[in-house]
A and B are shown apart, each in its own frame.
Chain A
């Protein structure tokens, strides 16, 4: 047990010494791994933030109802009856006159004044409790059949598009994780391969005097794992730095939309997962590289 521990510590020491022997080369490898890690991680963060931002907007998904030429009282009655329906969250009634006022407020007073008579219909803006496109459309379909209603506009298209885009983004993240995960393992395997060349004598002697494959492999595994971990940390830092750089401009955009939105980085859990993942891939890359070298030396 003590010897086992001592050997693990020794392997760790050898791995660290290998790093110190070639700091520049190691730094570059770590940086390359960092970039490889930061791409899916960064995209993931971007997506999570978009989803959060979209989540804040979602309840505003709405159905707009334009009345035919009916008097205001009749329109208001229908509005009141809709308000009582279970699936409806809110109903806002905008009368002909309110409509014109809104135009004026929006800076189109001259246009409004130039009109011989008010051409705007009475309007309802409905929001549903269930904001999925399906629920909105179901309500819209019912309303369309009402004799007093001229037109129903469903504002769900953009939600559908956003949902589709989000799904695309998620697929992209998944794909990047797989592709760059393989790249990470390959980068590690390659650096380990070069080290094996450099340590060929040592490996040969160790085998001749009775070292097991496991004994020979262990320092390389530590090296691969540590390099993966360092690369993961570098990737995490890149994502963090990117977030900080964008923070100010995102806040500006959010302010322009009257929102308090702030960028969120990776959570502690996500960070841990990222580091574990990159460490495991480094380890795996080393395992394959050494395994191959050991078989070739037979």
Chain B
């Protein structure tokens, strides 16, 4: 592998209180600029692995290095700054319904202290990329499922992260919408963004190619 290693997962196990082992002894390396499909049945540990990479949860043992930083040992005050380099896309979107489409996308910039015209320009650029520019004044609740997912993507990419993690981004979408979203991901990947996409849609993976990582019952299969 000639490309630079972005993520190194070494012998990672995640056990939840109560004894359920979501991940058992996973080792995996992801290079910068890769597009990786994370697949497996429900409960195979896909979401858990994404959460560990984003430092939303910590591994029980083993270590995860992202961009040279040991995520499992990261101190609390450092977490926000680490997460700013990662775009997170959720199956349930996690949009805020009390504000406009524009304000939802503005939020990550606002958190990072980007304000004014510069921020507005970047929000509109992100909305343009996902095809929601004409809906910036709308409330997220008025959008369709596919549009809400695109809004979530706009929010994830507005701060131009080098790594995007998407947890089942196409799970609730019909085929046309799903393809739309995958096309967007491919476009991001072409400009150098590393993507890890969890999905159980084998046809989609087949169509788009890219590296496939399969989990089954918390273990790495291939």
What mask results when residues 200 to 216 of chain A are scored 1 for a CB within 8 Å of chain B, else 0? Answer: 01101111111111010
Q: Please, which residues of chain B bring their CB within 8 A of the CB of A208?
A: 54, 56, 83, 88, 94
Interface size on B, residues (CB 8 A): 24
A contact residues around B54 at 8 Å (CB): 208
- Give chain B nearest CB distance to A203 CB in angstroms: 11
Residue A74, interface by CB 8 Å: no
Rounded to whole angstroms, the CA-CA distance of A213 and B80 in the bound complex is 9
* Residue B41 CB within 8 A of the other chain: no
Task: Name the A residues within 8 Å of B76 (CB-CB).
Answer: 298
Q: Is the interface of A mostly helix, strand, loop or mixed?
A: helix
CB 8 Å contact bits of B50-80 with A (1 = contact, 0 = none):
0000101000000000000000000011001
Contact yes or no, A209 B115, CB < 8 A: no
Closest B residue to A209 by CB, please name it: B108
Contact of A209 among B77, B88, B98, B114 (CB under 8 A): B88
Q: Which of A4, A201, A205, A210 contacts B80 (CB 8 A)?
A: A210
- Residue on A nearest B114 in the bound complex, by CB: A3
Given the complex of chains A and B, what is the CA–CA distance between A106 and B80 in angstroms? 86
Contact across chains for B110 and A10 when beta carbons are under 8 A apart: yes
A245 sits at the interface (CB 8 A): no
Kindly list chain B residues whose C-beta atoms are within 8 Å of the C-beta of A129. none
- A204, B81: Cα distance in complex, Å: 16
Q: Is A161 an interface residue (CB 8 A)?
A: no
Q: How far is the CA of A210 from the CA of B56 in the complex (A)?
A: 11
Bin chain A's interface residue count. 20 to 34
* Contact A209/B56 with A201-B96, A202-B96 known, Cβ cut-off 8 Å: no
- Cross-chain contact A210 with B110 (CB below 8 angstroms): no
Interface centre among A3, A213, A215 (most CB of B within 10 A): A3
Q: Which residues of A contact B159 (CB under 8 A)?
A: 209
Asked if A2 CB lies within 8 Å of chain B CBs, one says: yes
Q: How far is the CB of A10 from chain B (nearest CB, A)?
A: 7
The answer, yes or no, to whether A268 is at the interface (CB within 8 Å) is no
**Chain B contacts of A206 at CB under 8 A?**
107, 111
* A7 interfacial contact with B, CB 8 Å: yes
Q: Closest Cβ of chain B: how far from A210's Cβ, in Å?
A: 4
Q: Let me know if A24 is at the binding interface, CB within 8 A.
A: no
The CA-CA distance from A211 to B114 in the complex, in Å, is 13
Q: Does B18 contact A (CB under 8 A)?
A: no
For residue B58, give the distance in angstroms from its CB to the closest CB of chain A. Answer: 10
Does B113 touch A at the CB level, under 8 Å?
yes
Complex Cα–Cα for A3 and B114 (A): 7
Most buried by A among B94, B98, B110, B159: B110
- Interface positions, chain A 256-298, Cβ under 8 Å from B, are 298
Q: Is B179 an interface residue (CB 8 A)?
A: no
Per-position binary interface string of chain B over residues 153-164, scored 1 when its CB falls under 8 Å from any chain A CB and 0 otherwise = 001000100000
Inter-subunit contact B96/A205 (CB<8 Å)? yes
Query: A210-B80, A211-B80 in contact; A201/B111 too (CB < 8 A)?
Result: no
Chain A residues near B116: list those with CB within 8 A: 2, 6
Determine the distance from Cα of A205 to Cα of B107 in the docked complex, in whole angstroms. 9
In order of increasing CB-CB distance, the 10 nearest A-B pairs are A3-B113, A210-B84, A210-B83, A212-B80, A210-B80, A6-B115, A211-B111, A209-B108, A205-B94, A3-B115
Using a CB–CB distance below 8 Å, which chain A residues touch chain B? 2-4, 6-7, 10, 201-202, 204-213, 215, 298
Given A7-B115, A206-B111, A209-B111, 8 more pairs with CB closer than 8 A: A3-B114, A3-B115, A4-B113, A6-B115, A10-B110, A207-B80, A209-B108, A298-B76
27 A-B residue contacts at CB 8 Å? A3-B114, A3-B115, A7-B113, A201-B94, A201-B96, A202-B98, A205-B96, A206-B107, A206-B111, A208-B54, A208-B56, A208-B88, A208-B94, A209-B84, A209-B107, A209-B108, A209-B111, A210-B80, A210-B81, A210-B108, A211-B111, A212-B77, A212-B80, A212-B111, A213-B77, A213-B80, A215-B80
